[in-house]
């Protein structure tokens, strides 16, 4: 399933991560680019 998370605050980021761990394709969108870059670098 393809899922788009609009906003990557605490709830959006954790929820998106959980969906991704279950094998779903997750795209996160946020107005602050730093919030999206950081998880991808770990």
Q: Give residue 34's pLDDT band: very low, low, confident or very high (50, 70, 90).
A: confident
> pTM (2 decimals)?
0.72
pLDDT in tens, 1-30: 999 999 988 899 899 999 999 999 999 899
More confident call, 35 vs 3: 3
Break the chain down into helix, strand, coil percent, rounded to 5. 50, 25, 30
What are the distances in angstroms from CA 10 to CA 1, 5, 7, 35?
Answer: 22, 12, 9, 10
Per-residue pLDDT at 42 exceeds 60: no
Which pLDDT score is estimated for 40? 60
7 three-state secondary structure: coil
């Amino acid at each position: 399933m393809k899922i788009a998370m609009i906003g990557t605050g605490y709830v959006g980021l954790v929820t998106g991560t959980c969906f991704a761990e279950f094998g779903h394709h997750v795209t996160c969108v946020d107005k602050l680019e730093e919030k999206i870059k950081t998880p991808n670098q770990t």
